[in-house]
Structure formats: C-alpha cells, structure tokens
Structure 1
Amino acid sequence: MKTELSISGMTCGHCQAAVTKALKDVPGVQNAEVNLQDGSATVEGDASAQALIAAVVEEGYGAQIRQ
C-alpha cells in the first residue's frame, strides 16, 4: 500500500532526514521517500495514515493526507 502525505515545516536537509527517519521507524513501513522541495512524502507499507501523521507531528512538523 502506498500513502501520500503533505509535510509542512521542513526548511532544510536536516528536516527532511528527520521526517524520513520518523516515517521509517513506524511499524509496517517498508520504505519512505521525503521530498523537501514540494513538501511531500511517499510511504510504502501497511502502516496506517494516522500512525504516519502522528510520527511526523511528534518530530515537530505538520502532516496530512495528500489530496
């Protein structure tokens, strides 16, 4: 399953790395790609969208399902 997220608050490569690590640490995530330029993340695996969003918010960034 692929989940697309919009991420807000990222301003640098460190932010991108922090969000990527947070997403990859969620149980059930097989891969996570975070794009700093357009503020998006693509996550593969069976983790719920709520768990992914909670992980990003816990790192101090905003997240929502990408429409």
Structure 2
Amino acid sequence: MTTITVEGMSCEHCEQTIEEALRGVSGITDAHADREAERATIEGDPVNAALVQAIEDAGYTAHA
C-alpha cells in the first residue's frame, strides 16, 4: 500500500475524481481518497511518479 499527500480536495466529487485518476494508472488495483486527511491510499504495484502525474493531471497537487 502506498500513501500520497493530495492538496485541493474539497468535496466527495474531488475524492471520486482522484480515485478514478489513480485507478487509471497501470498496476493499480484500488485507490481511496480522503479529503479530510488530504491523502490518497493506493493498492497495487505503483510507480510514485505516475501516481503524482495522474493526480496533477486531474487538477490537484500531490506529494509522494
């Protein structure tokens, strides 16, 4: 399991957007975003740079 800090989520829709973006990354089996904790938890065999890029492409700021 990998955890990434995500800034800019303010609602449930933001969480869903992040989760969909992360699930689209090769090697990811599941993702859960938590706006209150400002993080996303990812399951699978991720490459951190790809995760950060997917989150940033969705319009948010991420730190691995």
TM-score by length of 2: 0.94
Cα distance in 1 for partners of 2:14, 2:30 equals 18
Instruction: Give the letter aligned to residue 20 of structure 2.
Output: K
> Gaps (5+ residues) in structure 2?
none
Deviations 1:35-61 (A, max 9, x none): 111111110111200000000000000
- Which 4+ runs in 1 deviate beyond 6 A? none
CA displacement at 1:20 relative to structure 2: 0.6
Q: How does 1:1-67 map to 2 (within 5 A)?
A: 2-65=1-64
Cα distance in 1 for partners of 2:4, 2:50 equals 12
CA displacement at 1:17 relative to structure 2: 0.6
Identity of aligned residues (%): 34
Instruction: Report the RMSD for the aligned CA atoms in angstroms.
Output: 0.7
CA displacement at 1:31 relative to structure 2: 1.0
SS in 1 for 2:29: strand
SS in 1 for 2:52: helix
SS in 2 for 1:27: coil
Cα distance in 1 for partners of 2:41, 2:14 equals 16
